[in-house]
Amino acid sequence: MHIPVLLKEVIDILAPKSGERVLDCTFGGGGHTSAILNASDCYVCAIDRDPEARDRALQLKNTYNERFDFVLAQFSEISVLFSDKQKFDAVLFDFGVSSFQLDKAERGFSFLNDAPLDMRMSKNGISAYDVVNTFSEEDLADILWTYGDEILSRKIASAIVDARKLHPIGTTLQLANIVRETARFKHVTKKHSKIDIATKTFQAIRIFVNDELREISTALENLPEILNDGARMVLISFHALEDRIVKNWAKSQRNTLLPINDFVVRPTSKEISANPRSRSAILRGFLYNTAGDRRKKSEDKGE
Ligand SMILES: C[S@@+](CC[C@H](N)C(=O)[O-])C[C@H]1O[C@@H](n2cnc3c(N)ncnc32)[C@H](O)[C@@H]1O
């Protein structure tokens, strides 16, 4: 079960109206999509790269019929998926993995269960197994440092390469134990921390396997092409790397993007205790207003 994060805040900002077109770029379990469809008589198109999300979307199609469509695609493709006549009035991105992906052991995203290393959202391309067993020590260290901010990146990479000389590292628990052992040896295990020391390594490999940061940058670059004037946008990040891309994009588009809130929106402690996976959510909302761009251009021309 996936509990949609910051649900009320998302609906308040997207404010879907009857007859409007809404795009949910990260369908997942469809929690946000269902709430949008229930909030008004709007149309929702949802995207997800995971074929298992498509199976869940079929159930929603039976309920909402022509008010809902699902497209199995990567959100970096939005500018080619929709024509000029198919622009949107509201768009949602809820980045990262869904609970369906994390909780299904055989998808290989989590070290809470032992399962084959995989982590591919789209179920194709290189897997976590390929990365861990074939990448050079240097490349592994770079991935752990760049996408996981892991201070032990070099030590962990070296331990991975040593371990795989004996036999391939096939499962999530084998990898987690290599990381835990390296941290224990280096005395960096935090006794009272609730966060497992292997978390950063798993995050880093997952981001690399799914090319997550490039997906976000490309999607945001192309986003204006599919927006109607006055469109509302919500972007929910789960770590600083994602949020930095959103922040820089908003800065680069400041003539047309108006922030809806003065500050980022975060879940309340009540939401976090009901849904601990929401704890790192950072929501930013924007209004697309091309009038600002027109004003800036005429100012530049001295009109
Ligand atoms: C956090 S979940 C979304 C949960 C959803 N909002 C809900 O309420 O159920 C993120 C979803 O986005 C999908 N996703 C991540 N990156 C994607 C990409 N580049 N293109 C398309 N879907 C992506 C994942 O497969 C996952 O199902």
232-273 pLDDT, tens digit per residue, is 999 999 999 999 999 999 999 999 999 999 899 999 999 999
Assigned CATH topology for domain 123-209: DNA polymerase; domain 1 (1.10.150)
Where are the chain's structural domains?
7-100+212-300, 123-209
pLDDT class of 74 with cuts at 50, 70, 90 = very high
CATH architecture of the region 7-100+212-300: 3-Layer(aba) Sandwich (3.40)
- Atom 3 of ligand 1, residue of closest alpha carbon: 28
Mutate to test the pocket of ligand 1, among 37, 38, 48 (most ligand atoms within 8 A of CB): 48
**pLDDT above 90: residue 195:** no
C-alpha 220/C-alpha 252 separation (Å) is 11
**pLDDT above 80: residue 293:** no
Average pLDDT for 93-122: 95
5-40 pLDDT, tens digit per residue, is 999 999 999 999 999 999 999 999 999 999 999 999
Structure tokens at 86: 């198919």
C-alpha 117/C-alpha 120 separation (Å) is 9
CB atoms within 10 A of CB 207: 22
The 3-class secondary structure across the chain, one letter per residue, is CCCCCCHHHHHHHHCCCCCCEEEECCCCCCHHHHHHHHHCCCEEEEEECCHHHHHHHHHHHHHHHHHEEEEECCHHHHHHHCCHHHCEEEEEEECCCCHHHHHCHHHCCCCCCCCECCCCCCCCCCCHHHHHHHCCHHHHHHHHHHHHCCCCHHHHHHHHHHHHHHCCCCEHHHHHHHHHHHHHHCCCCCCCCCCCCCHHHHHHHHHHHCCHHHHHHHHHHHHHHHEEEEEEEEEEECCHHHHHHHHHHHHHCCCCEEECCCCCECCCHHHHHHCHHHCCCEEEEEEECHHHHHHHHHHHCCC
CA of 178 to the centre of ligand 1 (A): 29
CA of 271 to the centre of ligand 1 (A): 20
Average pLDDT for 139-150: 97
